[in-house]
A and B are shown apart, each in its own frame.
Chain A
């Protein structure tokens, strides 16, 4: 994995792919932008500029360990839906890959859609990629997103972060941003929009956490006119049982209503 969400100016334009994967042996990078269904035309043009000027990725520091003269680049949109049904990308020389969960014997299938191919032939040969059942994909590199289905994981990571910060800070209060930075190692690189959403989740989590009786472990206070928390002593075994109940209740709640109502 080379880099996540880098912001790179190339020839006066600015691109921010979600992911850059670099095969150093091949001196080849793959820029990926994950999309639901919305594409903006200017993005196509900008990514096309990036593909035509691969040296810029090295010169700007987004790709390391490859000489600027030797790097080649592919770009691809990536989606759980079929973007080619909605958008005509034929003007540009890049393709799309589609993810599909639980297909036949595969736990996850990733395949190229549309007629375009990658510039690097070996990359084409790698598709379709099938992750078989039993080899389930790792989930901890990116532990949660601001999506409703990730909310249980969000709360579990926040619970553990609360225990860690309580141990680290002693009687000094910590705020929700510090909890989020501890919970998600990519917090510092997230967009402000996503940060705001997760911060709202975090405030709600802490209020609900206290209402469920976990306030024996953390106490709410004010710090710089904002809510913060500090550690109160509590048996870790007792806390574990309460945390299990908390998560179980949360999962039951989520089955009944969307997060917005949480």
Chain B
């Protein structure tokens, strides 16, 4: 096996190639992995900082350059309760907006280390938040092999709210193999569909020379469960990133509210700023699951806690019309929500990050209403994936 300390991209990818092949053979032969023979995980992360500033922001992080826009990132997790360990990630920051962290560390510690990094206050980092419509689209990118459904109202809503207004606090289903499609179809026909939010999908993707089996989680983590071609994995990660970037670009171009200053000519050769125009429209999210208690619903989503990290204060505009003005603690952007029983309006300022919209939308799907959809006018154009119902 090539050295674990690569000096360039080629060496890193050669190493991953052997990891994938070993994993694949091992899984086929024994249906389990040897100790230290972990699967390759790629974490797509949205960012507005420079890679080299990671070590300034986090004292437990070390960053060393390996190759063009490729860094070795060491995360010291020794303050955690379990094993004292330094975890190794490789960060590809070639795309300035969407980074990829690669890791062959054990799944749980790697996932926790990424969460600590991303969820830290003012981290400048965010997960990718895949809406259900995008997750369903992923199943068309290869041969559909499995799905995970996770509905975790307990993470967001109080016990009292769940008791009074929701049928489940938690619902989890994992399925793989050919019966998965049938199961999803059967469940989709039932009332249960409002609580069936896809948390992961598994597909087999074939390329000319080989194949990879990929599990895509709804927060941007892609785990190679087997295969024989690292290039197939790299191109798949790129495909996912581009699909998501298109959605974000669409939202940022069409669904933010700007107040540009208009220049008015006062004298022939003299211009003054005077008057402002308003451009853009809010995003409308339609709910299939009507909201029974607007204030509790809104307060739960804006209580500054993980996973949303949104801070806000609300007021009643009318008996059935609630408004929250808030701040996204990930990036300091402001937002406003207007909430009725069956729709939500989301206002983002023109300098806001479109990721805020997808974080709110995909979490509403995951924690409250799997069938939530964008209104027709909010649907990002020029994207392969629509977010309407």
Residues of A within 8 A of B (CB): 1-9, 59-62, 64, 134, 136, 138-141, 143, 152-153, 156-157, 159-161, 163-164, 167-168, 182, 185-186, 188-189, 236-237, 239-240, 243-244, 247, 251
Contact = CB atoms under 8 A, between A and B. Distances in A.
Given A138-B338, A139-B323, A186-B259, A236 B276 contact: no
B349 interface: yes
Contact of A134 (B325, B326, B340, B349): B340
Contacts of A136: 317-318, 321, 338, 340
B138 to A, nearest CB: 34
B373 interface: no
B324 to A, nearest CB: 9
Contacts of A134: 340
Interface of B: 122, 257, 259, 261-266, 271-279, 282, 299, 302-305, 311-315, 317-318, 321, 323, 325-327, 329, 332, 334, 336, 338, 340, 345, 347, 349
Contacts of A236: 304, 311, 329
Contact of A240 (B257, B304, B315, B349): B304
A168 B329 CA distance: 11
Nearest to A157: B325
Sort A-B residue pairs by CB-CB distance and give the 6 closest, nearest first: A6-B275, A236-B304, A1-B278, A185-B259, A140-B347, A140-B336
B277 A153 contact: no
A61 B263 contact: yes
Contacts, number: 124
A157 B257 CA distance: 16
Contacts of B329: 236
Contacts of A3: 262, 275-277
Task: State the main secondary structure of chain B at its contact with A.
Answer: strand
A6 B311 contact: no
Contacts of A8: 264, 274
Contacts of A140: 257, 282, 336, 338, 345, 347
6 contacts: A6-B262, A7-B266, A167-B332, A244-B299, A244-B313, A251-B315
A62 B315 CA distance: 36
B332 A160 contact: no
Nearest to A136: B321
Nearest to B329: A236
A237 B311 CA distance: 8
Nearest to A170: B122
A163 to B, nearest CB: 5
B265 A4 contact: no
B385 to A, nearest CB: 27
